[in-house]
Amino acid sequence: MNVIDLDHVGGEVIEPLKLLLERMGDAQLIIERYTQPAVSRIMTQGLNPLEVPLENVTRQVMFTDMVGFSAISARLPIEGVSELVSAYLEACSTGIARHGGEVTKYLGDGVMAYFDRAGIDDALQSTVDVQLELKRVREDAPSGSALSLLFSGFGLALGLVIEGSMGSSVKMDYTIIGEPVNTAARLEALTRTLDTPVLMTAEVAAAAGRDWDIRFVGASDINSDHPIRVHSLATGATDMASMRSTIPTYLDAVTDSRS
């Protein structure tokens, strides 16, 4: 294959061609920022993501969500909300990606991600890493900053999903759907009720390979067809008592300052 150095080639067509190639490179970087790595990998292989067939695969699904976001954001200016969400998504995304997870969607103040079947321990470690990073952000936050309120819940489920491009003529997503997705989302919501940051199904707990401090919590009817056995991960990375007190105290202070 011959390589042409455009910087040393003359002619009227060269400058527009160089500009076109630069913009194509910029477009690739923009696509990589606005979509998940799976789409970029498919395109790098010279394939059209819209033409890649759907497949049934086993995935470790994760949902995360910021604790108390609705109440907190209602009392913050737009800039404060943006700073809070950006810090949260940065911590979650980097923690997940560091361990081989695929961030497939941002859901407002939450993240949907998945790992391959062998990534159970990676998924569990990412929940620990994210909590530790959020703790660091809280401790480094200036006095009175809403960054001191960054806490997260996590729901983990393992099972067969459909993966691929799905959507409409208006918008497509490369994503996953299936019961494990719904279960992970419901487990994340259940973290508020059970007052623990990380909840998982029995399948996730059984597949974990390392010596994690995983505890059986009880049966839950979050799935309509049958109760599931729910387990928690004790990490010590999140102080639940601090979480319960910090957020109401901050909101009360903001309310009083506006009175």
Question: CATH number of 51-258: 3.30.70.1230, 3.40.50.10420, 3.40.50.2000, 3.40.50.10490?
Answer: 3.30.70.1230
pTM: 0.82
Structure confidence at residue 60 (pLDDT): 97
Which of 124, 113, 129, 99 has the alpha carbon at shortest distance from 63? 113
Strands 152-167 and 198-201: parallel
Rounded to whole angstroms, the Cα distance separating 152 from 89 reads 11
Which of 27, 42, 2, 8 has the alpha carbon at shortest distance from 172? 42
Residue-wise pLDDT tens digits, 61-117: 999 999 988 888 888 889 989 999 999 999 999 999 999 999 999 998 999 999 998
Angle in degrees, CA 212, 214, 219, rounded to 5? 160
**Extents of the domains making up the chain:** 6-34, 51-258
Residue numbers in the chain where pLDDT is lower than 70? 1-36, 224, 236-237, 239, 241, 253-259
Structure confidence at residue 1 (pLDDT): 47
Q: Which residue has the tokens 């190639």?
A: 21
SS3 of 8-35: HCCCCCHHHHHHHHHHHHHHHHHHHHHC
The per-residue DSSP string of 92-136 comes to HHHHHHHTT-EEEEE-SSEEEEEEETT-HHHHHHHHHHHHHHHHH
Helix (H) or strand (E) holding 243: helix 240-258
